[in-house]
Amino acid sequence: MNEGRSSLIVAVDVVLFAVQDKQLYTLLVERGRPPFQGMWAFPGGMVEPEEPLSAAACRELREETGIQSVPYLAQLGAFGDPQRDPRGRVISVVYWGVIPTRCPVRGADDAASAQWWPVNALPELAFDHRTILECARRRLRREVQQDLRLLFHLLTPPFVLRELQEVFEVIIGRPTDKRNFRRFVLQQQWLEEVGIREPQGPGRPARQYRPRPEALLPSPGDRCV
Amino acid sequence: MNEGRSSLIVAVDVVLFAVQDKQLYTLLVERGRPPFQGMWAFPGGMVEPEEPLSAAACRELREETGIQSVPYLAQLGAFGDPQRDPRGRVISVVYWGVIPTRCPVRGADDAASAQWWPVNALPELAFDHRTILECARRRLRREVQQDLRLLFHLLTPPFVLRELQEVFEVIIGRPTDKRNFRRFVLQQQWLEEVGIREPQGPGRPARQYRPRPEALLPSPGDRCV
DNA sequence: GGAATAGTGTCTCTTAGACACTATGTA
DNA sequence: TACATAGTGTCTAAGAGACACTATTCC
């Protein structure tokens, strides 16, 4: 092992997803200075010397968007192309996560402003963030297909089954049969019924559910999965 | 984004797996100097300023073990616990890979010696490498279960189906039915028959196979999957 | 009563897994 | 011919997916 010191810069970035109105959104901040001034990027920044990587991710997210906590956050990987940042060599450790609905965000800190964008109509992204987005989106899709419980972190309980299914369909990108979906979810015993939703117009009111606490996928955070 | 500079040290480590004699092996180098002198660690070292991460992984592997190329290498993730290296803050980007059989290795460079170890009888590992190993092992198991073609990188063709199955069983850790395994592999049309193995003792000689080129999983290397 | 949404059951096809005997070579 | 290894087919159970109608509420 080479024990010499070579100092590269380590950053973290956070790709956060939310679903609303049958669209997948991701959270971006507008860059207030060069390089890529005026373009948009994922919230992120440098890692402090004594700070765990996931803590840095949460901190940058908080500082740049005001979001205080994320129910599910996992590491996506390290992006280290030598050319990815024109200022020099920056390794970015990227985290991805989900959050229920587009929660309010504010611009702050050195980010000019933070905003939710539909992933199908994004502005031009800085650095290699387009690549990172595609990677994170694949990962989100895969994880949801492998374990539907991730959906529970994308909704605020109580919710109704149609809402759950809509979120699912937005993420995997194709429609699903209602009966098959409901049968599958209900027979896992992940949900408990919690009354009937107040009627909100024509149509039969739907049952509301809440995920059982033991059905909530724990956030890996820094843990390796 | 915080544009200030904080310089952390970025290293790469490589967890390489091979199977032989119905055992899973991993490649370690003995540490020739503190910290953890005399203990064993995965080959690895510092990333050069202009070097892609996967290139650094390959270079360190070559320098410390003499291995020139690895048929399948993918990123496992970044390990960045502030306490993981007593010398200071080191972020390690870990790669994992597989290679057919235990190829010869040499100690070299500043690694005292390189050696294949059975994962079920490892020496004490330096740093957080025990954690990393468990993570890599889970990943190997998952990938093999999801796509059997990864096995083709763990054998030197031509091979016979029993050998393929043995490698599979070692990795997933339990026996499998011979007929089911053969049926599955053959009906994927991944293999082409390439003659009969010379008899090597009692018993009927087995057919030899070679994976079709298009059935070889491409090594992700630096690409995000 | 008409419109809108919620809720329900069956059948089929595919896949995964359990399971035992025959074939062909060596000594 | 005894022994060792290679090679083969069927049945069952579970899961995934296609598919259409009834129930309840509002206006």
- Specify the CATH number for the domain of residue A164: 1.10.10.10
CB A93 within 8 A of CB A11: yes
Q: Could you tell me how far CA B56 lies from the centroid of its own chain?
A: 16
Confidence tier at B111 by pLDDT (50, 70, 90): very low
Please determine, for residue B91, whether its predicted confidence score (pLDDT) is greater than 70. Answer: yes
Strand residue runs (E) in A37-140: 40-41, 44-46, 72-79, 90-98, 111-118
* Minimum-distance nucleotide, CA of B204 to C1': C25
Q: A17: domain range?
A: 9-144
Q: Does A159 lie in the same domain as A99?
A: no
- Closest CA-bearing residue to C1' of D8: B179
Q: Which of B33, B47, B111 sits opposite A6 (nearest CB)?
A: B47
- Residue B135 pLDDT more than 50? yes
Per-residue pLDDT of B182-208, as tens digits, reads: 999 999 999 999 999 999 899 999 999
Q: How confident is the model at residue B143 (pLDDT cuts 50, 70, 90)?
A: very high
Q: Tell me: do A160 and A138 sit in the same domain.
A: no
Show residues of chain B in contact with A110, CB under 8 Å: 1-3
List beta partners, residue B97: B16, B73
Q: What is the mean pLDDT of each run of 10 residues along chain A (225 residues)?
A: 63 98 96 94 97 98 94 98 96 98 64 86 98 98 97 98 98 97 97 95 96 97 91
Q: What is the pLDDT of residue A76?
A: 98
pLDDT over threshold 60, residue B3:
no
Query: Given B2, B47, B109, which is nearest A46 (Cβ)?
Result: B2
Residues lying close to strand C (Cβ under 7 A), chosen from 172-211 of chain A, are 177-180, 182-183, 201-207
A101: in domain: yes
Q: B interface mutation test: which of A2, A87, A128 has the most B CBs within 10 A?
A: A2
Residue A111's φ and ψ, nearest 5 degrees, are -90, 130
Distance CA B203, CA B177 (A): 20
- Strand D: which residues 193-222 of A lie within 7 A (CB)? 199, 201-205
| pLDDT at residue A45, as a whole number | 97
| Residue B130 maps to a domain | yes
Rg (CA), chain B: 19
pLDDT at B1: 43
Same domain, B27 and B47: yes
Q: Say what the pLDDT of residue A7 is.
A: 74
On whether both A44 and A111 belong to a single domain, the answer is yes
A161 with A88, same domain: the answer is: no
A108 and A177 together in one domain: no
**Record: contact B76-A224, CB cut-off 8 A:** yes
Please give the Cα distance from A61 to B4 (Å, whole number): 17
In a domain, A4, yes or no: no
The answer to whether B31 contacts A1, with C-beta atoms less than 8 Å apart, is yes
Same domain, B160 and B110: no
